[in-house]
Structure 1
Amino acid sequence: MKYQLIPVTPFQQNCSLIWCSETMKAAVVDPGGNIERILEEAAKNNVVVEKVLLTHGHIDHVGGAAALAAQLNVPIVGPHKADDYWLDSLPKQSQHFGFVHCDAFTPAQYLEEGDEVTVGNQVLKVLHCPGHTPGHVVFFAESSKTAWVGDVLFRGSIGRTDFPLSNHQDLIDSITQKLWPLGKDVQFIPGHGPLSTFGDERLQNPFVADQLFG
């Protein structure tokens, strides 16, 4: 599984173009905006985007999803149905955060814990990781030990839980019970900021380091 980070929106959200090097089929994870830039990178890498994947329903992650999917005639897959609250509120979100107006939409497919999503010959495992939002999902490529974690976990930090329907304990449980078992050597791509590994965060993250849980 290959990938390229494409920072988008004023929030510098880590949109990812991911693809299977055998088939050159691709997916776009969390296209929050700047779809022209995303399309340019797809063309540069000679890949064919076949789906849009969403980790959760916040506008900086989904603001460009409907337009991109419509332009490419591909489905939007994810997040979990519990985030329909956020997808329905996209017009309010766009106004509140100063984004270009974004209509509400419904994905072609919601995802559940244990689902699998294919990108060419590659397989992404789906983990339902609520806390930042109730329907947040994580995509895990076991073959390359890489996880796209959205706003669940960051280098040295964790996702905010001061939004409607957020839950701090759910977030901690998602990280320690869903992500840590994947392995310390897993590299993760967060929704914002630099990459890290689960092992490094278990050592140093002041919110979820192993030493905090005795």
Structure 2
Amino acid sequence: MLLRIKQQGLDIVPRILIVKRLLPDAVGATCNQRLEKVYGTEHSHILRVPFRTKKGILRKWISRIEVWPYLETFTEVRLSFMLILSSHTGNWRRIIGSSKPFSHCRFMHSKKLIFLVCIFLQCTIAHALEKTKYPNSDIYWKNFEEKYHFSCQFTAYLYAMNHTDFIILVHSRRLLEARTLLDSVRSLLISSLFVPPCWHHIHT
């Protein structure tokens, strides 16, 4: 990336911060490190923030399906760390959410940054669409609500998608089938986020 930027005549140094959850009790991995440099890079780091409860830090790993109660405090702590880092590296210009939970964090994060007069682009990566993973989850979502919390997941994804500047699609097959990029986005959103009677798509 640095070489391509230089070849294009740009005099900038990109800095990438990957925010993940901290797992204090992790063994045999680096998930228990607060800050880690990305291997083979010069200006990319991983910042890990723990999930918190009223009793303190959540030390164990939990499925992404169960992370929703912790996202608000996670976002608050993450924002504090990022603001501290930005005082040394400059403001963040792009914020990317790579899954439904963290797309929702990006959405909550952006609302707070707007009040701080930070100018940035927001992005959502459309790859964790539950209908493609769990067949008929849109029709029978109530049957799986207790285990998978589909109503919460679909709602959060709708919020994230409607508060983003651009969407990265990783469904290459659907992208090729669609006549235009807009058709592809509509296909993904309508087919994957049609959840009666939780949500009903009435206008494109």
- Relative to the length of structure 2, the TM-score reads 0.39
Q: Which has the higher helix share?
A: 2
- Relative to the length of structure 1, the TM-score reads 0.38
Q: Which has the higher strand share?
A: 1
